[in-house]
Each structure stands twice: as structure tokens, then as C-alpha cells.
Amino acid sequence: MGKLRIKNRTVDDIFKELKNIAKLIIQYKSSVAVYTVMALLSTAFGILTSLVSQSLIDFVTMSPASDNILKFNSIYGILGAAVAFAVFGIGFSAVNSRISEKIRIRVNTDMTASLFDKYICSKWEYSSLFASGDVLNRFNSDISTVSSSVIGIIPTLITRSFQLLAAFAVIFYYDRIMALIALVTIPISLIFSRFLVVRMHRYARDLKKINSKMMAFNSDALFNIQYLKSFGLVNIFCAKLREIQKEYIDISLDYNKFSIVITSVMSFIAQIVSYACFGWGVYRLWSHAISIGTLVLFVQLYGMLSSSFSSIINVVPTLINSVAASERISEIQNLPKDEELDDPESMAFFEGSKNKKLILEMKDVSFKYIDEDEAALNSANFKAETGDFIALTGPSGEGKTTMLRLFLALLEPNEGEIKIIRKNDGRSLNVSPATRKFFSYVPQKNGMFGDTLAANMRLVKPDATDDEIKSALKISCAYDFVMKEKSGIYCKIGDGGVGFSEGQMQRISIARAVLRDAPIVLLDEATSALDTDTEKQVLMNLSEWCKNKICIFTSHRSSIFEVCNKAYVVSETECSELM
């Protein structure tokens, strides 16, 4: 037989995520233990306060108090105890709130940092399958859900179980029939909880999925707002948002209806049991079997017993929601990891290759993206040596950018090999994440962060001087317009390059690659937004600067042939040399 499934998730999958949550609880066991003890003390003082209330009412009504658990000789003792228990209860509750928030923040930040490390160090091909808005939703909403469960599940189960047992014990001490009546809701609740688990898991995953879809849509729309306005797409995207919102509303209202039905049924049963308990208590009072204080105590304790059991039952949907969140976090955590970036062998090879001539060689490489049916490259061959300025041309979408990603080890060949070879001794190293230090890269998108220009430049060379930055800007023909800015190289760049034209951002990106000063330079359509004269000057400057480097330039423009000494064309999954 196949495994039992709950909406495409096996029970084993759910238990696996429960184990992950349990590991987090164990990781913070000391803090959780302190929080639990404080919660238990707060609960104990709540029970004691109810017993004091019983004694106070019996004292002022002059009812027989021989069966009271707490014995007091005067009104002052009762009032003193009431004040003391209330103050201690409030104090413990306040301290507990502080402790729980500290734990929650600590767990949240630790999980966020860990997940960030996992995501950013994962293989690019796999991590790129997730929309940025979806990833952000996992970082924020899902981590918050799981971190809250770490400090909520075990302490809630322990403290509420203690409260339930203590309340039941006191009721049972006074009246066994009352205690049995109060327990009627438990078997009914357990029957409902099984149905609740299945439906809650589905709703939890569906709600998180639609939330991620909405966040991804909003993120893309806000990032591309200039384009939406320019192409008159604002109304279309506003309508699209409302379509996604309708999906969210439908799922939310469906869940709400389900919750209302379950809650109403449980509340109706609890209300009947509550009336039965109260009626029995009134009968016992009428028959002089209990005092007025004891009746009030029954009412208070039944309230505690009912609320504590409801809290225990509510752990189920909370846990299911946490499982759904943990599943989504695990999807990021389980992404394949890049190889070690600081591999000793590659570091030694890199240090030994300084001022040496290199060869970058691709042999019989075939590659297919994991989410595509057709191959991007088939048996591709490519060779470049120090001093080469190579044009990589071909129709859009035929594999030029894919080749650069393969050189950078953002992608791994399905077949074939890519090597960096030291020409003087013939030693070689397979291209991997650890060989990225050999490359400077200018992507099609500028890759600028919201910071100063100088800070963006120093990302690739933290110790770069102002003069080195200015020198790089001159090579890319960016110096003049940058220095016209009031703050010069310390001018502010908005997210994604806001504040500068696309052509200006391309030149700044080229300058950053120049500043890195790696032996192999990859430029992906790096001058596509430049006018003819500026492009010609940039290419001339780069050809001069790259005399002791390997420079590979993807482009559709014929101007690239004026400076290159070799050219390859990538078309119909093949790569062939032109000259």
C-alpha cells in the first residue's frame, strides 16, 4: 500500500518537519525551560487566587468553610493572600512575556541568518527557480511562524495541562460528579481534532502559497514600476493584483467558514456542559452541600479547565501551521549547496597564476536547464588565451549568457568539462565556484545596491582607494558624469541603479569589473545601452586594458569586431569559431 497522504504530503513528511521543529526546541531548551517554569508559577498563582476568592466569599457570607483547602483565621489574612498572589501572578506573567519575546527574537534572527546562508550559498540554477517575493515571504512569515511555535508549543502543552489537571483535581476534591460533567467535552474535542488536522494542513499550505504569490507579484511590480508606467501597463497590473487578491479572499473565507463551523459546534457543546456544571453547582448549593464560595470556585475553575483544554486543542492547528511553514523553509534549506569557495587547491592555483598566461577551455560541453525540455548547448567547444579579446555573438536566447554562467560555475555542465589552464606549466583546474576569483563579470542587469557608488565599487575590492575607483571609472568612460555629481564617487545610487540612466549604470558596472582586476573578464551585453561613439571609446579602452587578460564580450553589435581578435557564434545549441 502507498503511504497515507494529506494533500500531496505524506505523514512521514509531516513527522519530518515536526522533528525539525523539535530540534529547534532542543537547541533553545534552557530558555524554553525557564519560560515554562515561569508560566507554571503564573498558572499556580491563578489557581491559588481562585481558592483565596472562595475563602473570601465564604468569610463575608459567613458560610461554613470547613472544607476549604486554604484555611484563614481573619479577613486580613485572606486579603493579604489575595494581594500577594495577584501581585506574584502579575509579576511572573510580566517576566514571562519578557522572556518569551527574547527567545522569539533570538530564534527568529538565528533562523533568518541560517536560511540566508543556505539560500545565498546554494547553487544558482536551483535558487533562481524561486521568485524573490516568495523567498522573502519564507524569510519573514514562515520563519516567524516557526519561531513562535518553538516558544509556544511545549510551554503551552505543559502549562495548560498543569492548569487543566490542577483545576480538575480541585473540582474532583469537592464534587466528583461535577468533575465528570466538566470532562464531557474532551472525547468530543479529540474526535474533531482528527478532522481538524487534515483540513488545517491544506488551508495552511494554500494560504502560504497564495501569500507568496501575492508578495512575488508586488515585488516584481514595484521593482519594474518605471516600465509599467512607460508601457501603460498600470491598469493591467492593478487588475492582476485584484485577481490574486480574489484567490486570497476565496481561500481565506473558505478557511474562515471552516473555522466558524468547528468553533460554533465546539462552543455549543462547551456551553451545554457549562450550563450543566453551573446547574449542578446551583443544585448542590440549594441542597446546602456546598457554600457560595465553592460555587464561585467551581465557575472559575471550570472556566480555567475549559480554556486550558481549548488551548491544548488549539496547539494542533498551530502545529500544523508551523509544519506547513517548516516545509517551505526546508525547501530552501535543502537546495544543493555550492562547492567550497575557499578551496585550498584553487587558492594555491590562483596565487601561482598571478602574472602568468592562462587558457580558458570548454570541451564538448552539453547543458540543459533543469526546468527546460530542450538543451541550451550541445557539445560546445571554446578556447581563449591571455591577450584574447573574444566576441561571443549569436541570436538572442541561443546560449551566450548560458556560456558565461558555465564559466562562472553558476551552472554545471551535464557533459564535458571547462578548465582554467596555466600555460607555462600546463597545470589545470576544473571550473567551480572556487574559481570565480579568476573572473570579473558585467551582467546584463547592472547589479547595483542602494548605497553610494564607492561602496558598490568596493564590493569587489574592499581596500580600493579613491584614486583606483576613479581610474576604473575613466576606463569605462564613467568618470566625467560621476564627478559632476555633488558627492562625486560618494554619490547615492538607488536600488537597482535608480538615479542614473541605463547607459550610465552599464559604464559603472564595467568600472566595477575593471576595479576587480581579475585575469578573465566576462561582459554580457555590457554596452547595449550606449551610443555608438561612447561604445567605441569604451571598447577601445577595454581592449587596451585587457592586453594581459582574457576578455569575452557577448554582443549583437558589429562594433565589437573592430577590437576583437577572435569570435565565436552561439546558435542552435552549438558554439563555433568564426575567425
User: What are the DSSP calls for 114-145, one per residue?
Assistant: HHHHHHHTB-HHHHTTS-HHHHHHIIIIIHHH
User: What is the per-residue pLDDT for 156?
Assistant: 82
Strand ranges (E), 505-573: 520-524, 550-554, 566-571
pTM value is 0.74
d(CA 161, CA 43): 10
Cα 262 from chain centroid?
A: 31
CB contact at 8 A, 538 and 510: yes
User: What is the per-residue pLDDT for 196?
Assistant: 63
d(CA 87, CA 80): 11
The set of cell numbers assigned to 208 is 502560504
User: What is the per-residue pLDDT for 190?
Assistant: 63
Kindly report the length of the chain: 579
Please indicate whether residue 302 or residue 188 has the higher confidence score (pLDDT): 302
Domain range annotation of the chain: 11-333, 344-577
Task: Inform me whether the pLDDT recorded for 11 exceeds 60.
Answer: no
For the segment 95-111, the average pLDDT, to the nearest whole number, is 82
Contacts of 181 (CB under 8 A, 6+ apart): 273, 276, 277, 280
Q: What is the pLDDT of residues 287-309, one digit of tens each?
A: 888 778 888 888 888 777 777 77
Q: What is the pLDDT of residues 214-236, one digit of tens each?
A: 877 877 777 676 656 666 767 88
CATH class of the domain defined by 344-577: alpha beta
d(CA 523, CA 391): 10
Three-class SS state of 524: strand
Task: Inform me whether the pLDDT recorded for 403 exceeds 90.
Answer: yes
How many other CB atoms sit within 10 Å of the CB of residue 145? 20
User: What is the per-residue pLDDT for 7?
Assistant: 42
User: Residue 447 corresponds to which amino acid?
Assistant: G
d(CA 449, CA 493): 7
Name the residue among 491, 489, 494 with its Cα closest to residue 471: 489
User: What is the per-residue pLDDT for 6?
Assistant: 38
**CATH code, 11-333:** 1.20.1560.10
User: What is the per-residue pLDDT for 360?
Assistant: 95
Burial class (CB in 10 A: 0-12, 13-18, 19+), 106: middle
User: Residue 282 corresponds to which amino acid?
Assistant: V
For the segment 363-380, the average pLDDT, to the nearest whole number, is 90
As a dihedral over the C-alpha atoms of residue 236, residue 239, residue 245, residue 249, rounded to 10 degrees, the angle is -160
Q: What is the pLDDT of residues 122-154, one digit of tens each?
A: 888 888 888 777 888 888 888 888 888 877 777
d(CA 194, CA 320): 12
User: What is the per-residue pLDDT for 194?
Assistant: 58
User: What is the per-residue pLDDT for 5?
Assistant: 38
User: What is the per-residue pLDDT for 512?
Assistant: 93
Task: Inform me whether the pLDDT recorded for 495 exceeds 80.
Answer: no
Task: Inform me whether the pLDDT recorded for 188 exceeds 80.
Answer: no
User: What are the DSSP calls for 191-249, one per residue?
Assistant: HHHHHHHHHHHHHHHHHHHHHHHHHHHHHHHHHTHHHHHHTT-HHHHHHHHHHHHHHHH
Three-class SS state of 167: helix
Q: What is the pLDDT of residues 520-550, one digit of tens each?
A: 999 998 888 889 899 999 999 999 998 899 9
For the segment 20-36, the average pLDDT, to the nearest whole number, is 80
